[in-house]
Structure 1
Amino acid sequence: MRLGVLDIGSNSAHLRIADLSPGHGPAPVRSVKSAVRLAEATDREGVIGRPAVGRLVGAVREAAVAAAVSDVHELVPLATSALRDAANRDAVAAEVRAATGISIGFLSGEQEARLTFLAARRWYGWSAGPVLLADIGGGSTELAYGAGEEPEIALSLPLGAGRLTRHHLPARPPVPKKRRKALRRHVRSVLAETAAGIAERPAPVRAVATSKTFTQLARLCGAPKSKAGPYAARRLARRDLQDWIPRLATLSNEERAGLRGVRESRAHQILAGAIVAEAVMDVLSLEALDVCPWALREGIFLHRLDALTAGRPVGSPFTPAEGTGSLPPPVPVRPERRLRVAAAR
């Protein structure tokens, strides 16, 4: 079957389409990405502003058209922390549904961590042994630990790179050393309070990082370019990251965007991302992290593929005992719907 996953994050709405077949990994078909910038359009009361809602409606409409013309059988539209935590999230979701016919589902932070862990486990296989996962998003950071396909610990912390940039760093660089150290203390205090259970576990055989933030930090520190392909080994060493943090603090956003691996859309929050990454490695006693090319969207593909193979309902949770809720149900993309959506372009 052909599945589309529309992941609505802090900066973008990203549609990934893949063919799913038992016994094989998800086969990529198409990717469509639109800037929505929800996080930066959210005020201190947690309300997403009108311009960003308009961008979101346009992005969902574009994704629906792309799914239709690509013969997608099912579309899973979901939102992570930027929309999930917004004070007006229900109103925004209702407006999107009225304008596009697409109902957005919401993943909890724990579900996000579990699905991303599943992707990392499948990528590295059983030879990876116990795995520790770290994923830095725009609004939250997910951590997970476990020796099986499902993590024993799955956490979501309010330590997203975009969130911390807005709340703790000046609007424009340079960032004074005092502010940088204050942010690091804040991040470490949150990690020490909430991630103690992971720190107490046996050291992982493989420590893994996913997300654009980690990918760009690894490239900044010398990892291979994206065109080297997904099988190129990419690692992020704590020592290299420590050297870059004070340098990033002195650079303007424009200068950061000129560095290898740093995209213009993320340049403003790369310093906060680096501070979180270094603090995670420090608190959890990690000298380096392997950067995994599979992340949340691949986890959803795999979860759906497992359901297909086992004959489980699509929206079933991982196991009844976990009580973490269900994935958002997929939206069937019927032939008549494909024609109707395509005609709306």
Structure 2
Amino acid sequence: MRLGVLDVGSNTVHLLVVDAHRGAAPLPAYSHKTELRLAEHLEKDGNIDRSGAENLVAFVKEAAELAEDKGCESVLAFATSALREAPNGLTVLDRVRAESDVDLQVLSGQDEARLTFLAVRRWFGWSSGRLAVFDIGGGSLEIAAGSDEEPTIAVSVPLGAGRLTREGLHSDPPDKDEIRALRKRIRVEMAAVAGDVLRAGKPQRAVATSKTFRSLARICGAAPSDDGPYVARSLHRDDLTDWVPKLIAMTAAERADLPGVSVGRSTQLVAGALVADAVMDLFDVSSLEVCPWALREGVILNRLDQLQPR
């Protein structure tokens, strides 16, 4: 069957069309995305402004038409922290449904972590043993760990790269006081959940997903995306430790010239690097394997699991 998956994130809105059936890996057939940056359309009271809502409605309508053109049987549409936390999020959702006829569902942070974990488990398989999975989004950091397909623990922490940049980094390049304050904030908030994750046991495999981790791994020497998804990629703590001060000293324009870094993501890379550095330190991880599957694939796999066997 052909499915469309519409992912409304804090930074990017992405339609992915896949050919999939139960028991098989979903095969990408078409991709269409835009950097809508919903999180930058927040008013002082946290509401999504008129422009942000209109842009979202327009893209969802466009995505629905594209999914129909590509022969999708259905579209699985979901949104994450930007809509989840906005006081007028339900109003915006109602407008999207009324004008696009797409049932856009808001995932909880725990569900984000749980579904991402499912995708990583399926990618690496049972031989990986106990997994710990980390995903840096625009608004939040998701952490999940466990030995089964359902994680033992799944948590979401408000440590997304976009959020931290908006709230803590105002200079370009950031000054030392901003970095010091942001580093402290990240480590305090992460330490509050680290104990619960570690209490269940040290992971046999630590895995990272998300564009932020992929960009950091690429900067630190991992293979480019053009080499395909089956090339092993890792982010090593020693390499990241060397790069963090270099990234801090650069302007956003200079970071955009680095391999694997887009102009749109370059402003958020310092905050993302500080989060990644804290993950590897507080969870005592020397390296993170980068998984090409993440939340979107988890949503697809979860949907296929609900289908009756032929």
Give the TM bin, normalised by the shorter chain: over 0.9
**Residue 94 (structure 1) aligns with:** 94
Cα separation, 1, equivalents of 2:236 and 2:177: 24
For structure 1, the residue ranges without an aligned partner over 5 or more in a row are: 312-345
Please say if residues 256 and 267 of structure 1, whose CA atoms lie closer than 8 Å, have aligned partners that are also in contact.
Answer: yes
Please say if residues 109 and 142 of structure 1, whose CA atoms lie closer than 8 Å, have aligned partners that are also in contact.
Answer: yes
1:78-132 deviation line (CA, Å, top 9, x unaligned): 1000111111111211222222122211100001100000000000001111000
Please say if residues 136 and 272 of structure 2, whose CA atoms lie closer than 8 Å, have aligned partners that are also in contact.
Answer: yes
Cα separation, 2, equivalents of 1:144 and 1:310: 29
Superposed, 1:172-191 pairs within 5 Å as 172-191=171-190
Output the amino acid matched with 2:125.
G
Query: TM-score under structure 2 normalisation?
Result: 0.97
**Residue 118 (structure 2) aligns with:** 118
How much has 1:310 moved relative to structure 2? Answer: 5.2
What secondary structure sits across from 2:113 in the alignment?
helix
What secondary structure sits across from 2:242 in the alignment?
helix
How much has 1:178 moved relative to structure 2? Answer: 2.3
1:278-331 deviation line (CA, Å, top 9, x unaligned): 1011000001100000000100111111111459xxxxxxxxxxxxxxxxxxxx
**Residue 162 (structure 1) aligns with:** 162
Cα separation, 2, equivalents of 1:114 and 1:131: 12
For structure 2, the residue ranges without an aligned partner over 5 or more in a row are: none
**Residue 83 (structure 2) aligns with:** 83
Q: Does 1:31 align with 2:31?
A: yes
Residue identity (%): 51
Q: Does 1:220 align with 2:245?
A: no
Cα separation, 1, equivalents of 2:308 and 2:134: 28
**Residue 136 (structure 1) aligns with:** 136
How much has 1:201 moved relative to structure 2? Answer: 2.9
**Residue 257 (structure 1) aligns with:** 256
Cα separation, 2, equivalents of 1:301 and 1:101: 20
**Residue 341 (structure 1) aligns with:** none
**Residue 149 (structure 1) aligns with:** 149
**Residue 270 (structure 2) aligns with:** 271
Which contiguous aligned blocks of 4+ residues in structure 1 show a shift greater than 6 angstroms?
A: none
Cα separation, 2, equivalents of 1:86 and 1:310: 39
Larger mean CA deviation between 202-211 and 239-248 belongs to: 239-248
Cα separation, 1, equivalents of 2:97 and 2:20: 27
What secondary structure sits across from 1:39 in the alignment?
helix
**Residue 196 (structure 1) aligns with:** 195
Please say if residues 139 and 158 of structure 2, whose CA atoms lie closer than 8 Å, have aligned partners that are also in contact.
Answer: yes
User: What is the count of residue pairs matched by the alignment?
Assistant: 310
Output the amino acid matched with 1:197.
D
Output the amino acid matched with 2:245.
P
Cα separation, 2, equivalents of 1:19 and 1:121: 20
**Residue 323 (structure 1) aligns with:** none
Higher relative contact order (CA 8 A, sep 6+): 1
Q: Does 1:301 align with 2:266?
A: no
Shift in CA distance, 309/20, structure 1 to aligned 2, threshold 3 Å: farther
**Residue 57 (structure 2) aligns with:** 57
Superposed, 1:205-244 pairs within 5 Å as 205-244=204-243
How much has 1:29 moved relative to structure 2? Answer: 1.2
When the two chains are superposed, the root-mean-square deviation of aligned CA atoms in Å is: 1.2
What secondary structure sits across from 1:33 in the alignment?
strand
**Residue 283 (structure 1) aligns with:** 282
Cα separation, 1, equivalents of 2:98 and 2:244: 45
Query: TM-score under structure 1 normalisation?
Result: 0.87
Cα separation, 1, equivalents of 2:157 and 2:262: 24
How much has 1:246 moved relative to structure 2? Answer: 1.4
